[in-house]
Amino acid sequence: MHATRRVFAAAISSSPGPDIARIPQSITSAQLPRSIFKYVRLHLDLPKPQEPNLSLAQIAAPESEGSQPIFRERVHIPNPFLRHKRTVNIERIDGSLFALNRYKLHFSKRNQKKLLALHSRYHLPPSPANPIETPPKVIWEQNGKHFGKEIAWAGEWAVKQQKGLYHGRKVMFKGHKRERERQDKLDMMSERVEDMSRRVEEWRSTKSQAKTSIWRRDSRPIMMNDRPLCWIRYHNALDLQLPSLAIGLYEDDGAHLARFELQGDSDGGKAMRPTYRFAPILKSRYGAIYRALKPVANFYANLCGYRQMGLRYDDLIPEEREDVQKALSRLNARDSYDRAFRLRVGIQQSLLHRELPKDQWVTPEEDIRYLSPIINSVIKEDEERAMWDSMTVERQKKH
């Protein structure tokens, strides 16, 4: 029995059996395999939706050859070698019915191979197993009578393509990860070293000053009269306070002078007199006085010593506050990097008790407020958010 199976399997797996020399234009239903003929006749005997009481098998074909057949249209029969949707009504336990869609082959792939081994490929429906681009027409005949019916196989199929190793890839050879990321790294490095020559010169000058006596106290980096500068909070605004001076720092407003603050000794930040801000009034009404006081403000700003360290006024704002943290997160990458670099240089100079060369001091034009406007906007946003959160709506009572 096993030997018989092996022989039959070998016969099926061999090349197709009888075939014709050329592609026929049309074939009759009598040339179809018996299983395919029964399948087509089963579908032709089904009642038509337009005439449910009339089927093709019940209609007699004309006797004479000159008369026209009753049916001339093309009949589409589901291709038995392809999958088709079939709706099945299944009964539940409670007796109700529900529709279930199934997709099933009428002839399995194994049976298709058997039919291809036993019959001509042009007498079978086209399919991936039987790839025929233009299959011959099937003229339906039954009992030797021609019904004028042309059978067309319904269903779409595609020839199986032999996909290559790189099929579907946008780039055939994507390369190693380090090769793909190389250009991005080069761009980032070029952006970082754009002004590296200036920073190298600053580092060299700082290094040369460090070789001198480290204990010289001829400069006061972040000290004033041997007393440290302190921060005073007043009306939600942080300002740098000189303990022994009457006039504090100025705040830049686009013209390098926006606010004078008349302050007394801070006494550790516990007591201070009110702050009078009259710079906007001077700028708008008394331009001459404003221009006269501008050098005075720059003099006191230089007297503090932070410009000699290469720092700006906004670099000295403490970062422990929540609004300052939010403002720092909104800075762009370039400003954040420059701020960190200035603070690092300032800390180094402070530890060495030295100042930068005079040509490297921060000028009044460079001492711009890059962080204070962002802090003010953050404070306004928080106040507005708190106002909206505390808002209550009372419904009007109906009279």
- SS3 for 115-169 is HHHHCCHHHCCCCCCCCCCCCCEEEEEECCEEEEEEEEEECCCCCCCCCCCCCCC
Which residue did the predictor score with more confidence, 126 or 70? 126
Same domain, 221 and 340: yes
Does residue 102 carry a pLDDT above 90?
no
Provide the pLDDT for residue 310: 86
In a domain, 270, yes or no: yes
In a domain, 237, yes or no: yes
Q: Containing domain of residue 33, as a range?
A: 2-60+67-83+109-154
DSSP designation for 61: P
In a domain, 148, yes or no: yes
In a domain, 50, yes or no: yes
Provide the pLDDT for residue 363: 86
How far apart, in Å, are the Cα atoms of 148 and each of 58, 151, 223?
Answer: 15, 10, 111
Residue 182 identity (one-letter amino acid)? R
In a domain, 198, yes or no: no
Same domain, 224 and 307: yes
Query: Residue 293 sits in a domain of what CATH number?
Result: 1.10.1090.10
Which residue did the predictor score with more confidence, 344 or 275? 344
Which residue did the predictor score with more confidence, 149 or 229? 149
Same domain, 146 and 232: no
Does residue 133 carry a pLDDT above 90?
no
Nearest to 122 by CA among 37, 13, 19, 39: 19
In a domain, 383, yes or no: yes
Which stretch of 20-24, 92-96, 187-191 has the lowest confidence by average pLDDT?
Answer: 20-24
End-to-end CA distance of the chain: 101
Residue 310's φ and ψ, nearest 5 degrees, are 80, 20
- Judge whether 318 and 229 are in contact, CB under 8 Å: no
Interatomic CA distance for residues 20 and 265, integer angstroms: 114
Same domain, 265 and 353: yes
Average pLDDT over residues 225-236: 38
Based on C-alpha coordinates, what's the Rg of the chain? 47
Q: Per residue in 275-301, pLDDT tens?
A: 344 555 555 555 666 666 677 677 666
Same domain, 149 and 255: no
Provide the pLDDT for residue 271: 36
Provide the pLDDT for residue 245: 32
Same domain, 16 and 113: yes
Half-sphere exposure of residue 178, counting CA atoms within 13 Å on the CB side? Answer: 0
Same domain, 238 and 351: yes
In a domain, 102, yes or no: no
Provide the pLDDT for residue 197: 87
Highest mean pLDDT, choosing among 109-113, 148-152, 226-230: 109-113
Mean pLDDT estimate for the chain: 71
* Percentage of the chain lying above the pLDDT 90 cut: 8
Same domain, 143 and 278: no
Q: Which residue has the tokens 């007699």?
A: 60
The domain total for the chain is: 2
Local confidence band at 181 (pLDDT 50, 70, 90 cut-offs): very high
Q: Count the residues in the chain.
A: 399
Which stretch of 196-200, 235-239, 344-348 has the lowest confidence by average pLDDT?
Answer: 235-239
Same domain, 120 and 225: no
Which pair of structure tokens corresponds to residue 394?
């009372």
Same domain, 18 and 136: yes
Average pLDDT over residues 32-61: 66
pTM above 0.85, yes or no: no
